[in-house]
Amino acid sequence: MTLHDTARSAAHADGEAPPGNRVHLVRSTELDGFAAISGGTVGSKKLWMGRVVNPPMSATDNHHHGDSEAGIYVVSGHPVFVYHDGTREVRLAGNPGDFFLVPPFVPHREENPHPTEPAVVVIARTTQEPVKVAVPELYRHTVGEPA
pLDDT reported for residue 1: 38
For residues 96 and 121, give the distance between their C-alpha atoms in angstroms, rounded to a whole number.
Answer: 9
- Answer whether residue 2 shows pLDDT above 50: no
| Selected residue with higher pLDDT from 147 and 49 | 49
Reported confidence tier of residue 6, pLDDT bands at 50, 70, 90: very low
pLDDT reported for residue 144: 53
Residue 45: closest CA among 128, 135, 133, 124: 128
For residues 13 and 84, give the distance between their C-alpha atoms in angstroms, rounded to a whole number.
Answer: 46
Of 36-40, 46-50, 117-121, 129-133, give the lowest mean pLDDT range.
129-133
Reported confidence tier of residue 75, pLDDT bands at 50, 70, 90: very high
The residues that bridge with 35 in the sheet, in sequence order, are 32, 50
Q: Give percent above pLDDT 70 in the chain.
A: 81
**Residue-averaged pLDDT of the chain:** 84
pLDDT reported for residue 57: 98
DSSP-derived pairing of the beta strands 133-134 and 80-84: unpaired
Of 54-63, 87-96, 122-131, give the lowest mean pLDDT range.
122-131
